[in-house]
Amino acid sequence: MSNAPYFSGEDLGKYLENVSKANSEASKSYLFLEFTRNVFKQVNVDYSEKLYPILEKHLKGKAKSLIVKGRLDAMLGNLIIEFKKSLDDKSREEAESELRRYVSILWTQQREHRVQYVTLATDGIKFVCYRPRADPSEAEVIPDDIFLDEIDKINLQETDPGSAFVWLDRYMLAETKRQPTTEAFSSEFGLNQPAFKDAETSLKQAWNENKETVIYDQWASSLRIVYGSSVDSEDLFIKHTYLDTLAKLLAYSSFSGGALPVSREQISEILEGRIFEKWNVHNFLEEDFFSWVARTASGIEAARVLLDRLASYDLSSVDEDILKSLYQELVDPNTRHDLGEYYTPDWLAELIIDKVLNNDPDKSVLDPACGSGTFLAACIRRKKQLLKNKKPFQQLEAILSSVRGVDVHPLAVILARTNFLSALGTDLLSARQGPISVPVYLADSIRLPESDVTLHDGVESFRIYADKEILRIPVNVAKNPDLTDKVVETIKEYARMIAQGNKPKLDDFKNLVIQKVDTEMDLKEVSVLFNSAETMAKLIELKKDTIWVFILRNIYKPLFLRDRKFDAVVGNPPGYHIDM
């Protein structure tokens, strides 16, 4: 937190009253300018053409765009604000277009030394925050090259003064931050540390208020597969939920360049994975065994406890597995050690990966029991070094297609996905040119689910029993991990439409499949998926759909192991095998 003075409810109320009466973009920007100058005296706030002469000739005399320059260590560099009279859908699109234009001008001028801007579209009351990105290998950047990933938003009229101040302060000023390390995170967030105790209290209260037994039972079932016997308890479930929540918040902040949310809506979007779907990053964070946290006030409070602690770290760049020691500490240590379950240090994983790849970045690598993703992250970092002469989007595509991980432990998977994304880094992720999926799956890589195959309406299909209902997915779909993601997302979307009162029609569903899946499918297969969508709608009405979407998306992913050869299989105990 900065040393800027805290503003009162009266200060905020007076500003909101004035800005709501303003009837032009220029007057709104002036009111915000004066309000910001009074509150944040440590920043230089002015119209953008005064701070950046290169923009002056492009602004055509407009006095509605602001750039806020903080200290040299200011969080995320510079903040560009575009004002509109209102922030309806049309005006927001116009603001986004202008922001792309400003960033393209600046980045073209800066060339390889691009400032990582944060951009805001606002009417002085509602604010939507974006992180711009473009292919870093392109020296000349036009507006169409700029993508704006929404990372945060707030409505000051619906926010208390304290939260409003924290939100504005986050983007105006930031103290010099600590580097996140394994040791620092263990001492900050470990068992019996204040962060854990405070969050645990809120999580227990949240669980007691709203116990979701279907989620708990499926989590316990996964652990029985992991350990061969029942080890579940509510205390262990809370510990897993705690670390899962921390990992999701860490991943969001790392991906967004250091942003941390304030509003309940934004926190819920992160914990349920919806924010990453907006960014076209699929299969990274999704509604899982631990997303129940987002559905209670006490659960949101637990997330805020962790956010307060994370605010002191520079999470824009994480280059080690900072959650590995917490994972070892917070899963059941006695059971782990009895099974001989230990974790490979980063240096040893890097040594093995170096030997496995042997300077060949095209080798495909699988870790079938990936844990927190130590080998996966080491492999990604090494491949980035070997592919450094290729364009970033080519590096990204090469890594996503050649590095895969599987684990049956539900907590391990979220940590492995977090480490996978962190290892890719913002340089590669900023270069993505379409939707991507994180190829780390929750499933049993030893026992493939072939015994569940049945013939349904002439189509070979897998089936799972979901609270006395049956969900089916064609075998041909289940064999393709990326296709499975698209299909399950389509099933979920159509099921929600049915649950909202739309009459189910096969032709409507078929059209949605064509739109979303972008792959030719047999009509009989589409019919099987349509039946699953109808079943999912029933589960939605019973408020029991969340975990089944997650399971359906993941359970059949290991089938690609049977049909695809990998050049190398790595894992713990340390060792490797190369198919000749």
Task: Give the DSSP per-residue string, 46-80.
Answer: EEHHHH-HHHHHHHTT---EEEEE--TT-TTS-EE
Q: How far apart are CA 202 and CA 298, in angstroms?
A: 5
Neighbouring residues of 109: CB distance < 8 A, sequence distance ≥ 6: 54
Beta bridge partners of 120: 81, 129
pLDDT of the residue at 52: 46
Instruction: Tell me the per-residue pLDDT of 454-508, one tens digit each, with 9 for 90 and over.
Output: 777 888 888 888 777 888 888 888 888 778 888 888 888 888 899 888 888 998 8
CB atoms within 10 A of CB 130: 26
Beta bridge partners of 230: none
Q: How far apart are CA 483 and CA 517, in angstroms?
A: 7
Sites in the chain below the pLDDT cut of 50? 1-5, 48-57, 59-64, 67-77, 174-176, 338-340, 574-580
Q: 193 — phi, psi (to 5°)? A: -80, 155
pLDDT of the residue at 42: 57
pLDDT of the residue at 64: 44
Convert 265-328 into a string of H (helix), E (strand) and C (coil): HHHHHHHCCHHHHHCCEECCCCCCCCHHHHHCHHHHHHHHHHHHHHCCECCCCCCCCCCHHHHH
Q: How far apart are CA 37 and CA 31, in angstroms?
A: 10
pLDDT of the residue at 359: 93
Instruction: Tell me the per-residue pLDDT of 353-410, one tens digit each, with 9 for 90 and over.
Output: 999 999 999 999 999 888 889 899 999 999 999 999 999 999 999 999 999 998 888 8
Domain spans in the chain, listed from the N-terminal domain onward: 9-172, 182-442, 450-557
Q: How far apart are CA 312 and CA 517, in angstroms?
A: 41
- Kindly provide the b/e burial profile for residues 225-256, where b requires at least 16 CB atoms within 10 angstroms of the residue's own CB: ebbeeebbeeebbbbbbbbbbbbbbbbbbbbb
- DSSP-derived letter for residue 555 is T
- Which of 488, 527, 536 lies closest to 507, judged by CA? 527
Interaxial angle between packed helices 392-402 and 374-386, expressed in degrees from 0 to 180 and rounded to the nearest 10:
140
The answer to whether 236 and 269 have CB atoms below 8 angstroms apart is no
Residue 258's SS3 state is: coil
The CA distances from residue 178 to 113, 174, 318, in Å, are: 24, 12, 12
Q: What's the whole-model pTM score? A: 0.71
